[in-house]
Structure 1
Amino acid sequence: MKQSVAAFAIIAMLSLTTASVCSAFPADDQAAVPQAAAPVLDVVTLKDGSVIYGEVIEMMGGLLHIKNSMAGDIIKVKWAEVSKLAVSHPIPVHLKEGTVLIGTVEEGDPGMMKVKAGPTGSVMTVPMDAVTQVNPVLQPPVVYTGSINAGYSQTAGNASLKNISVIGDFVARSEQLRLTMLGRYVYGDNNGSLITRNARGTIKLDFFITKRFFWFASAYFENDFFQDLKLRTAISSGPGYQWIERGDYGGIFKDMTLYVEAGPAYFNEDFRVAEDRASFRGRVSTKWNWPLFDDRLTIYHYHEIFPSLQNFSDFFFTMDNGIRLKILEGLASGFQVTTRYNNRPAPGTVPTDNLYLLTLGYAFDTTRKR
């Protein structure tokens, strides 16, 4: 009996002690534990009333890219269809006149957006149709693009035939300058007898006065044994305009470029046998480049026309049309057709020459992409 009373007393003391400790150190209130804050999503409201939640990645070429965890791919909507926009993270907004605003974006009236600058917190209301780009990929000070391709064939035995062709292009583009160099060399002989040999080189520098308007200076050199031509030289300068730049359009047209230029030129032809000729002419040139499928396929066109200012029926014309196919990173194959027409050829020669070149080589482009 005494043992039972003692055990009961011990249990009672332990219970009182536990209650005292619990009252002195209360358990954490589960309701008071802060929950992890859900990430704040960007909000895109379309003109038809649809609302898209996610993370705004960029807007280029008239397309707004939105990352959504529920979608397997990036959602792309036309910028012209966006009515309101809210972006929770600081983002650069590029305007038509060249201004760049960096900050978060708050919803405004339909067709308007409020950009809240980071350090100062000032808010600027901007029309959405005044925005050209949002969070574009920043490019290096100078972007280099180009290619060098070559073709070679040879036969031996009953026939001895050798053909060599090399074509190349190089463009260096900064904010205000663009340097362009083009080159071509073609050689062929049959059993030691020359059957074709011609070379061409062009160097051109463009100075951009505005984002689209530029002034160029160019020099063109050409040699062709079977045109009786030692050297054809054309020095020219004049205005040009960049009609299409990368990012102007969306979809498959996003990397397309096009420019046109024209100006006076000094044109000289030094022949081997025929009498040399020199004249003042005009120069009109167009260059169009259309990369497709992330630069896996490129279609291009380039021409130069040199009409005489004394006699408009007298002109020289050269044109390159081709495609370039990326096989592996840097390795590319190309097919080019070059047409040259001179309506006053040297005696004993024809006015038109066509070159068909199938080549393999190296292509590069330092343009940064997301």
Structure 2
Amino acid sequence: MYRRIRLKTPLVLAIVLAVFQVQARADQIKLKNGDLLTGSIVKKEATTVVFKTNYAGTINVQWSEIENITSDEPVHLVLSDGSSLRGELVSTDPGDIGLEQENGGEEKNFSLMKTRYINPSPDLTGEGYKWTGNINAGGTLTQGNSETKGINIDGETVFRALKNRFTIGGYFHRLEDRGRNTQFNSRVNGKYDRFLEPQWYVYGNTSFENDRFRDLKLRSTAGVGTGYQIFETPNLNLSIEGGVNYINEDFYKAQDDSYPGLRWALRYDQMLFHSSTKFFHEHEVLMDIQQTSHYLLTSKTGIRFPPIFNFNASTQFQYNWDSRPAVGRKRADSILMFTLGYGW
């Protein structure tokens, strides 16, 4: 036995209107190929828009492929000239963007290409800073025919504001075999960057290094220079630097030394495999101005694997080269580390 259920016309209309109202309240992106995406705008900080959808999760949309973009809620917009606006994005001519300003301000229309940021983080607008960093540790312990124990620690933290960036990092390595040290070295470095333009900056840097098995009691450096931030995004970072440094070296047995030098440095990291794994590489070269055949190289290259609750695993290869080591010491030193760490 079946019962026929009648829906009153007003109820049907109310349901239909509610559905259309929900759809209308979604942010929308119209692509140049005619596709229409609905969801919510998270941010635009580089060449892509982070867009959250119910059907595909969070996706990245190339800004250059967008014909029109609208929002249901006010957004924070920063233009290429640095001006800051707040309001709802409204439909306008293809290739343009419209903004209904908050507090009854006049509607503005301008080219999509003049939009630098949407909902940027505070460090990009000068209203605050972003603090990132990581610390990693690994160790070994063996007993029996061999008795060894060791620890490897490295880390770095970066404070980034619109015009300023502070970087502090370092490492500590120690290894014992039957109570006898077989590795004992450490390094601490710091750098301050002052951005004159969005990509150009000047810097001051310093470092302090100790390595008993290279007879190095303390190598201290200090210098200034300029750098260029080629990329700076959550998924890709690349910078190059050049300048001058003064190097002072104190040894346990060898004769102490000091000299002016030229400095070259590179930093690169990129997210791989759908932004789950990070590849990183950085190196620094210091060359003696008085004896150009004498130079120092420090580098590290590695992969940091997918994080779980900000904890991650990494493998890292560190390599140091001194073309003029202390008597009886080798030019090259290297270490391969497997560590667990925490990032923020």
- State the TM bucket, normalised to the shorter chain: 0.7 to 0.9
Structure 2, gaps ≥5 residues long = 1-8
Counterpart contact for 1:58–1:136, Cα < 8 Å: no
Task: Determine helix, strand or coil for the equivalent of 1:80.
Answer: helix
Instruction: Report the alpha carbon displacement of residue 129 of structure 1 after superposing the two structures with TM.
Output: 1.1
Residue matched to 1:135: 119
Instruction: Report the alpha carbon displacement of residue 264 of structure 1 after superposing the two structures with TM.
Output: 0.8
Counterpart contact for 1:165–1:187, Cα < 8 Å: yes
Instruction: Report the alpha carbon displacement of residue 339 of structure 1 after superposing the two structures with TM.
Output: 0.6
CA distance in 1 between counterparts of 2:164 and 2:47 reads: 26
1:95 counterpart (63, 79, 82)? 79
Instruction: Report the alpha carbon displacement of residue 131 of structure 1 after superposing the two structures with TM.
Output: 1.3
Determine whether 1:171 maps to 2:158: yes
Residue matched to 2:343: 364
Counterpart contact for 1:338–1:355, Cα < 8 Å: yes
Determine whether 1:62 maps to 2:47: yes
Pairwise mapping of residues 1-370 of structure 1 onto structure 2 (< 5 A)? 35=14, 38-39=20-21, 40-41=24-25, 42-48=27-33, 50-52=34-36, 54-58=38-42, 60=44, 61-64=46-49, 71-73=55-57, 77-136=61-120, 141-246=128-233, 254-292=234-272, 296-361=276-341, 363-365=342-344
Task: Determine helix, strand or coil for the equivalent of 1:275.
Answer: coil
Counterpart contact for 1:58–1:133, Cα < 8 Å: no
* Change in 2 beyond 3 A, CA 1:274/1:76: closer
Letter in 2 for 1:131: T
Task: Determine helix, strand or coil for the equivalent of 1:204.
Answer: strand
Instruction: Report the alpha carbon displacement of residue 137 of structure 1 after superposing the two structures with TM.
Output: 5.3
Instruction: Report the alpha carbon displacement of residue 304 of structure 1 after superposing the two structures with TM.
Output: 0.9
For CA contacts below 8 A with separation 6 or more, give which structure has more relative contact order: 1
RMSD (Å) for aligned C-alpha atoms: 2.8
Counterpart contact for 1:56–1:64, Cα < 8 Å: no
Tell me the TM-score normalized by structure 1.
Answer: 0.79
* Change in 2 beyond 3 A, CA 1:93/1:265: same
Letter in 2 for 1:83: E
Instruction: Report the alpha carbon displacement of residue 79 of structure 1 after superposing the two structures with TM.
Output: 2.1
CA distance in 1 between counterparts of 2:226 and 2:59 reads: 40
CA distance in 2 between counterparts of 1:68 and 1:227 reads: 56
Structure 1, gaps ≥5 residues long = 1-29, 247-253, 366-370
Task: Determine helix, strand or coil for the equivalent of 1:187.
Answer: strand
Task: Determine helix, strand or coil for the equivalent of 2:113.
Answer: helix
* Change in 2 beyond 3 A, CA 1:345/1:104: same
Letter in 2 for 1:100: S
Letter in 1 for 2:178: N
* Change in 2 beyond 3 A, CA 1:360/1:63: closer
* Change in 2 beyond 3 A, CA 1:331/1:84: closer
What's the % identity of the aligned pairs?
Answer: 28
Counterpart contact for 1:43–1:51, Cα < 8 Å: no
CA distance in 2 between counterparts of 1:224 and 1:237 reads: 25
Task: Determine helix, strand or coil for the equivalent of 1:89.
Answer: coil
Residue matched to 1:11: none
CA distance in 2 between counterparts of 1:285 and 1:149 reads: 23
CA distance in 2 between counterparts of 1:234 and 1:141 reads: 31
Letter in 2 for 1:204: K
Tell me the TM-score normalized by structure 2.
Answer: 0.84
CA distance in 2 between counterparts of 1:347 and 1:138 reads: 52
Residue matched to 1:17: none
Instruction: Report the alpha carbon displacement of residue 208 of structure 1 after superposing the two structures with TM.
Output: 2.2
Counterpart contact for 1:236–1:263, Cα < 8 Å: yes
Q: Which moved more, 1:313-322 or 1:326-335?
A: 326-335
Letter in 2 for 1:269: E
Instruction: Report the alpha carbon displacement of residue 349 of structure 1 after superposing the two structures with TM.
Output: 1.1
Residue matched to 1:251: none
